[in-house]
Chains A and B, each alone.
Chain A
Amino acid sequence: METEPKTVELNLCGLALGDYKGNPSTLCPGCGHNAISAQVQNAVWELGLPPERFVKISVIGCSSKSPNYFLNRSFGFNGLHGRMPTLATGACFADSSIHILGLSGDGDTASIGMGHFKHVIRRNVPMTYIIENNGCYALTKGQFSATSDQGLVLKHQGVNMLPPLDLCMEALISGATFVARAYSGDAKQLKELIKAAISQHGIAVIDVISPCVTFNNKDDALQSYTWGRDNEAPLHDFKYFSRKEDIDLADFEPGTYREIRIQDGSYIVLHKIGKDYDPTDRSAALDLLTESYKNKYFATGLIYFSEATATIQELYDLPEEPLNRISSDRLRPTEAMLAEINRSLY
């Protein structure tokens, strides 16, 4: 018996969402990270870019497992705890047309890899740096991380005595040109932020508060679902458009929205919710983050955006074609050059 073939929606490059899938997740059911995996997959598919144009770099921890669960057709690398930015730094020179998705956790980025985090921003390695921030070490079964809230109580740990680090603040003062905070329970905003981050020229950092259902999901914990649901305060209604002509402003009243052009020609449209917030004002961004911590105010959205600066690749005068495809004969200096060196050393 013949059945009607199901119509599968295809994106700009002719691929179905299924072509962007990964392996089934082995994270805990309900883990916030699974929502992030889903939104990365959706964002890349909606951008219409082939999965072969991405690599996924991650290291150790629950967050670092997540690249297994999306984009199976992209190369992945699971390296050493905290060292994801270093792998990305080397890999970015291999083929500058490939976009790097760096997946990290709060243990990874805020503790063992904090130095690399700040230096990869300083170098402006072109990549999307996503932190799946659950405020604890989960794969080692529930220890405090450097983003755990002061006073947090964990089963085998007692009370956390130390204040948390704010990774958006760290990114901002290290010179990132795209800094966002998201909540894995707010899928729509997260997906739009990921799309914009991928479009940004240079490094884009998204700190995604992503609840750990097993070790850190008590109602009053800053990284819990309940806290997120009850307290998330988007800075604006965030929308991403890959082309200007797609922007539909019909719903917006004049004076309530703002367009930001990204260097690749795509656009961010921010629609005001309540207070005015200007994400292109660095001091305002720092104030916001200071305020958020003090008042336990869970602001999400685009915290800071500025025009792109030169990436580390651009600081080297490299050929346009991928360096890893340059034929070997172009990599070896000539025999005459060696003769000249020998002459100069006599």
Chain B
Amino acid sequence: MIEASKITYEGDGPIVNEFCITICTVNGSGSATANNILYRTLFHLGIPTSGKNVFPSNIKGLPTWFVIRASEKGHTGRQLHDDIVVAMNQVTFEKDMQYLAKGGVVFYANNLSLPETPRDDLIYYPMPIKNLIKGTDVPRKLQAFMENMLFVGIVGQVLGIPLEALYSTIYSHFSSKPTVAESNFSMVKTGFDYAAEHLEKKDRFFVKKLPPLTDYILTDGNNAGGLGSLFGGVEFCSWYPITPATSLVEAMIDQVDQLRLDPVTSKKTCVILQVEDELAAMGAAIGAGWGGLRSMTATSGPGISLMTENLGLAYFTETPVVVWDVQRVGPSTGLPTRTAQGDLSMLYYLGHGDTSHIILIPGTPTECFEFGWRSLDLAERFQTPIFVLTDLDLGMNQWVTKKFVYPNKPIDRGRIIWEKELDQFKDWGRYKDIEGDGIPYRTVMGNQNPKAAYFTRGTGHDEYGGYSEDPENWSRMLMRIEKKLNSAVPLLPDPIFRRSKSEDVEIGIIGMGSTDDALRETQDKLAEMGIAVDYMRVRALPTNPAVREFIASHTRNYVLELNRDGQLCEILSLEISEYSQKLISISDIGGMPMTAEWAVESIINQERKEGKRGN
């Protein structure tokens, strides 16, 4: 694998707006605000920026890292090496420096002791954090928190971030608490002024203001997904806390009162309810969906495991419900605070017996918002569970993303029929395929038409909901459900293509979800090396014909994903079996977001194996 210290920067001029900063602290020390101020300021300066929090499953006292990637080129995925390290934690100090490229930069709190033989290919800036804080009037108990604002000022000065930019970010961050803003800014300024006076610029990294990113926002996928659900008219969300899905529901809790007051009565139109476990979360969501509410839950892999029996019930009783799976690393408790794409196969075939499900896979927070409302429409239209599959990286980290787009069509309630509509049917049955597309009409509780009621059951049932053990009936029901789900395929999100500028491209790369940044960067890096590749991001299962065409039109398709077994590749190989020999799996799982460096190296190694490239 790549050794960071062997990486060198090209030329000897300034490196502008292309760097990765890792801030190394102890969790619970209040560094989140400082990190936030730094990356948000870079964003406000017009530089695409991401912020990834690498945190332990712990509240206080263990090492934590915050990684800011700023890239004028828009490459904001994770990178393997660091360019700048802000060292505030003695425990990890020595190791943190190993990730720096030759010529990298170390800002370190000068109460930390340097290793006996520090690397001589790095540039060091000591930060007298403890002395500086003593010279301020910050109360003793707040000093530990405020220390972090000092490094913001020091790093800002050295990189050339204008003080006004830091000022405006701080005042907008603390917009409701001007005195807090003032004390934070005074810390930043102390650091900023100290660096101006005492630190001589020796490194090559610079920040330069660009035109503002006016079409963009800075947010995380969970906030986006929660908001998308609220804009999708969700009426019921039952849930149970689990990292990394919790913040999706908390985003809803935070905003439901402002967003979901009925314009007619000023009463609330959305219920969010924390229940006793994931069994109950899923059961209640199904009860609500069955009752005619737009219903959802959000969880992660272990929660899905508990919800599985219920989801089979929802599938077979044809009950609409949306389930967000914000993936973390499994099996078992696994790495609960790290990211993965390991739940895909589980979700696709989730449940005992013959089941298969629709999965939406957003790759940006903007898409999390969009799939938030779309998933509720699809669930009601097709009367089935709809999964939205994201992961910790997309869900909990900060992304520069296109502004949320208001839904371009009205809410779709699907085929719910009330009293009068029911009278228009001569021979209605809850599971009767009246339109020939496999999608029945459904009545819900409260319908006062004496013909409206039926018995919903997870056992074998006929077109009218009546109990049936008849073999022919069982098979007919299951085939109709399959037909129904197939009819959904044209309405699912299309794949996104990013074509090479070259023609007759032999190589395709295929990914999904949060690896989008890394894979776009991979495509660009390969292009710089003279290797033309087309990129396709799959956004839904089952796949649509465009996915097949892409695979067919390339000689070799590398499917890159964050799991051990290459789950997307396996599913594509099964669904598009006639081209399965064109699919090559490249997958890896360690809990960290994908990097372009890894992807490029893996593809090139594989190309060598295929005999397509020399050494």
- Flag A121-164 by CB within 8 Å of B: 1 or 0 each: 00000000000000000000000000000000000000000000
Q: Confirm or deny: B53 has a beta carbon within 8 angstroms of a beta carbon on chain A.
A: no
A5 in the interface (beta carbon within 8 A): no
Given known A328-B233, A331-B235, A338-B404, contact A86–B280 (CB-CB < 8 A): yes
Q: Could you tell me the distance between the alpha carbons of A57 and B288 in the complex, rounded to whole angstroms?
A: 13
Q: Name the residue in B217, B290, B309 with the highest tally of chain A Cβ atoms < 10 Å from its Cβ.
A: B290
Known: A80-B283, A323-B269. A333 touches B456 (CB 8 A): no
Residue of B nearest to A57 (CB): B287
Measured CA separation A68–B459 after assembly (Å): 13
A306 within 8 Å of B (CB atoms): no
- Segment at the interface with B among A91-99, A195-203, A206-214, A253-261: A91-99
- Contact residues, B321-351 vs A (CB, 8 A): none
Contact of A93 among B267, B291, B467 (CB under 8 A): B291
Q: Which of A52, A90, A329, A345 contacts B236 (CB 8 A)?
A: A90
Contacts of A346 in B (CB 8 A): 44, 216-218
Give, as a whole number of angstroms, the nearest-CB distance from B453 to chain A.
5
Return chain B residues, CB-CB under 8 Å to A115: 276-277, 280
Q: Report the count of interface residues on A (CB-CB < 8 A).
A: 58
- Tell me which residues from 59 to 95 in chain A have a Cβ below 8 Å from any Cβ of chain B: 67-68, 72-80, 83, 85-95
B265 within 8 A of A: yes
- Within B250-300, which residues are at the interface with A (CB < 8 Å)? 258-260, 262-265, 267-269, 271, 273, 275-277, 279-280, 282-295
* B76-84, B439-447, B538-546, B563-571: which lies at the interface: B439-447
Q: Is there an interface contact between A119 and B275, defined as CB atoms closer than 8 Å?
A: yes
Q: Please determine whether A90 and B295 come into contact, CB atoms closer than 8 angstroms.
A: yes
Q: In the bound complex, do residue B289 and residue A90 qualify as a contact, i.e. CB atoms below 8 Å apart?
A: yes
Separation in Å of the B278 CB from the closest CB of chain A? 10
**B383 an interface residue at 8 Å Cβ cutoff?**
no
Contact yes or no, B446 A80, CB < 8 A: no
Cα distance A86–B450 in the bound complex, in angstroms: 26
Q: Is B231 touching A338 in the complex (CB atoms < 8 A)?
A: yes
Q: Decide: A93 near B235, CB < 8 A? Known: A78-B458, A79-B286.
A: yes
Residues of chain B from 448 to 470 with CB closer than 8 A to chain A in the complex: 448-450, 452-459, 467
In the complex, A77 Cα to B310 Cα: how many Å? 13
A30 within 8 A of B: no
- Residues of B near A312 (CB, < 8 A) are 273
Write the chain B residue with the least CB distance to A90.
B287
Interface contact A326-B262, CB-CB below 8 Å: yes
Q: Are A75 and B287 in contact (CB under 8 A)?
A: no
CB <8 Å contact, A89 and B238: yes
The answer to whether A324 touches B287 (Cβ under 8 A) is no
Q: Let me know if B268 and A318 touch, CB within 8 A.
A: yes
Q: How long is the Cα–Cα vector from A86 to B297 in the complex, in angstroms? A: 13
Given contacts A87-B287, A91-B288, A326-B262, contact A52 B450 (CB under 8 A): yes
Structural contact, A328 and B450, CB atoms closer than 8 A: no
Please tell me if B413 contacts chain A, counting CB pairs below 8 Å: yes
Chain B residues, Cβ within 8 Å of A330: 262-264, 269
Instruction: Known A322-B446, A323-B235; judge A90-B291 contact (CB<8 A).
Output: yes
Confirm or deny: B411 has a beta carbon within 8 angstroms of a beta carbon on chain A.
yes
Cβ contacts under 8 Å, A94 to chain B:
288, 291-293, 444-446
B295 & A324 in contact (Cβ 8 Å cutoff): no
| CB of A228, distance to nearest CB on chain B (Å) | 30
Tell me whether A98 and B293 are in contact in the complex, defined as CB-CB below 8 angstroms, given that A80-B309, A346-B217 are known contacts. Answer: no
- Docked pose: A72 CA to B404 CA in angstroms: 47
Docked-complex contact A325 and B446, CB < 8 angstroms: yes
A320 at the interface (CB under 8 A from B): yes
CB-CB under 8 A from A68, the residues of chain B are: 455, 467
Contact in complex: A345, B218 (CB < 8 Å): yes
The CA-CA distance from A319 to B295 in the complex, in Å, is 17
A116 in the interface (beta carbon within 8 A): yes
Q: A230 contacts the other chain (Cβ, under 8 Å)? A: no
CB pair A320–B265 under 8 Å, yes or no, is yes
The smallest C-beta distance from B428 to any residue of chain A, in angstroms, reads 14
Let me know if B148 is at the binding interface, CB within 8 A.
no
Q: CB of A7 within 8 A of chain B?
A: no
Given contacts A89-B275, A89-B283, A93-B291, A76 and B455 within 8 Å (CB-CB): yes
Do the beta carbons of A116 and B280 come within 8 Å of each other? yes
Q: Which of A75, A92, A116, A321 contacts B456 (CB 8 A)?
A: A75
Is residue B166 within 8 Å, beta carbon to beta carbon, of the partner chain?
no
The chain A residue with its CB closest to the CB of B220 is A345
Query: Which residues of chain A from 287 to 346 have a CB within 8 Å of any chain B CB?
Result: 312, 316-326, 328-333, 335, 337-338, 341-342, 345-346
CB neighbours of B268 from chain A (8 A): 316-319
Give the complex CA separation of A57 and B44 in angstroms: 54
Interface residues of B in 517-569 (CB under 8 A from A): none
Q: Do B448 and A50 touch across chains, with their CB atoms under 8 A apart?
A: yes
State which of B44, B264, B284, B448 has its C-beta within 8 Å of the C-beta of A52.
B448
6 more A-B residue pairs beyond the given contacts A76-B455, A95-B292, A323-B271, with a C-beta to C-beta distance below 8 A: A91-B287, A93-B235, A98-B445, A323-B293, A330-B264, A342-B217
Residue positions of A touching B, CB distance < 8 A? 50-52, 55, 57, 67-68, 72-80, 83, 85-95, 97-98, 115-116, 119, 312, 316-326, 328-333, 335, 337-338, 341-342, 345-346
18 A-B residue pairs with Cβ-Cβ distance under 8 Å, sorted by A, are: A57-B287, A76-B455, A78-B459, A83-B279, A86-B282, A86-B284, A87-B290, A89-B283, A91-B445, A116-B276, A312-B273, A316-B271, A319-B267, A320-B267, A322-B446, A324-B446, A337-B258, A342-B403
